Chains A and B, each alone.
Chain A
Amino acid sequence: MNNLEFTLLVASGSFMAGFLGALTGLGGGVVLVPLLTLVFQVDIRYAVGASLVSVIATSSGAAVAYLRDGFSNIRIGMFLEVATTVGALFGAFLAAKVSTAAIGVVFGLMLLYSGYTSTRTPVESPEDDHPDPLATRLGMNGVYPSLAGPKAYFVHRVPVGFGLMFGAGALSGLLGIGSGAVKVLAMDQAMGIPFKVSTTTSNFMIGVTAAASAGVYLSRGYIDPGLAMPVMLGVLAGSLAGARLLARTKTQRLRWVFAAVIATLGVEMLYGAFSGKI
């Protein structure tokens, strides 16, 4: 296979990943690394580098639409980015210390977890109760647009959310993914932030988190231009197309199918790591 054929095949695969990721809301980043390592036989370090770069592109591209809707909370995002960026640096340094098989195992588990969480329907956190003093001092409580007009919400358990965000950042730096699933877990489940606010704020944070480890990856030679080019352009085009189609499609069944694909890739990844192929 020459460069031209390789570029076209990888770009098509990345387009599909970005397209399905945007359409189902699960993000395409998480299937990119298994696609590159298992199907295209790319070394996991190059795969992680290319994936990380494409995560920055899709996050920044999608943030444009979210910001206009007024759901994302800039203060919550900025405060938690302290945890995710430090975590991402830690993860990126860790990536050089551990074996590729260990990265494969963590990746496989992450895929299984993502597949599992994506089949659950979001449970709205209980109606606003009492304000949390720390969150109030940090100016995190906010208002979001709902069908019944602007709705106020309180933020809770900031330290727990902060700790989980460090973990999300470390996973992002180690695996080259956005780790949106962990970010939403931290904000939605731990901090009690409304689902729509936590998903959009999470997406907003992903680009900054990924940028923190991208510099380390670049200096270590993980980012190969010949590979990153079709991956980044493919995922970006795919996710823009998916977001455009989203308004006109019912995605529940597609979500299940994509979740099954993610879980299958998780098993394949674990098998590859334990059999010494990764």
Chain B
Amino acid sequence: MFRTSDWTDQKIEVVIANLLRAGVTLAASIVLAGGLVFLVRHGFAVPHYRTFAGEPSDLRQWKGIARAAFALRGRGIIQLGLLVLIATPVARVAFSAFAFALEKDWFYVGVASFVLTVLLYSLVGTTL
């Protein structure tokens, strides 16, 4: 009736913790690097956040962000870091699905797969 945290559950949690830490560290480093490039180049320009214009289309989808980042544009690099950050919980859910499969808990493999589908729909379906 009870699920005690046995060896596998313990191990899963350690892997998830490391995954999350790596994802956040990587994302924060990329965002920081992009921020420095952005500020060196545009530090003295005046920001306009008071009125909403929406981002240009190349900073709204995967391909545009990748292109902008590899062209070493500051805003593109920041956006790439934010994509890594958004992908971190997605990777966590994907790993959980895999871990439930190792435990042969097929119901929770289904639950995790459903959550993963919703996340991928939001991330890939709307930003392609």
A and B: interacting chains? yes
Chain A residues within CB distance 8 Å of chain B: 1-4, 6-7, 40-43, 45-46, 53, 56-57, 59-61, 63-64, 67-68, 70, 74-75, 78-79, 81-82, 85-86, 89, 92, 131, 136, 138-139, 141-143, 150, 152, 207-208, 210-216, 218-230, 232-233, 236
Chain B residues whose CB sits within 8 angstroms of the CB of A219 once the complex forms: 60-61, 126-127
Is B24 in contact with chain A by the CB < 8 A criterion? yes
The residue on A at minimum CB distance from B76 is A225
Contacts A3-B42, A61-B21, A74-B12 supplied; 13 other A-B pairs, CB < 8 Å: A3-B38, A3-B44, A60-B88, A60-B92, A63-B20, A79-B108, A85-B115, A143-B3, A208-B92, A211-B86, A215-B127, A218-B86, A221-B55
Given the contacts A67-B13, A67-B17, A139-B3, A225 and B82 also touching, CB distance less than 8 Å? yes
Q: Are A56 and B89 in contact (CB under 8 A)?
A: yes
Q: Are B119 and A221 in contact (CB under 8 A)?
A: no
Q: Nearest chain A CB to B79's CB is how many angstroms away?
A: 5
The residue on B at minimum CB distance from A210 is B89
Q: Are B3 and A41 in contact (CB under 8 A)?
A: no
Chain B residues whose CB sits within 8 angstroms of the CB of A227 once the complex forms: 47, 49
Chain B interface residue number, banded = 35 or more
**Residues B53-104 near A (CB distance < 8 A):** 53-57, 59-61, 74-76, 78-79, 82-83, 85-90, 92-93, 96
Chain A residues whose CB sits within 8 angstroms of the CB of B51 once the complex forms: 43
Cα distance, A223 to B10, chains bound together (Å): 36
Q: Nearest chain A CB to B115's CB is how many angstroms away?
A: 5
Q: Nearest chain A CB to B19's CB is how many angstroms away?
A: 9
23 A–B pairs (Cβ distance < 8 Å), ordered by A: A2-B45, A3-B42, A43-B50, A60-B88, A61-B24, A70-B5, A70-B13, A74-B96, A75-B3, A75-B108, A79-B111, A85-B119, A150-B4, A207-B92, A208-B92, A214-B86, A215-B121, A215-B125, A223-B79, A223-B82, A232-B82, A233-B31, A236-B28
Is B7 in contact with chain A by the CB < 8 A criterion? no
The residue on A at minimum CB distance from B18 is A64
Cα distance, A70 to B6, chains bound together (Å): 11
Q: Are A7 and B123 in contact (CB under 8 A)?
A: no
Q: Are B17 and A68 in contact (CB under 8 A)?
A: yes
Q: Are B122 and A215 in contact (CB under 8 A)?
A: yes
Q: Are B75 and A78 in contact (CB under 8 A)?
A: no
Cα distance, A1 to B48, chains bound together (Å): 10
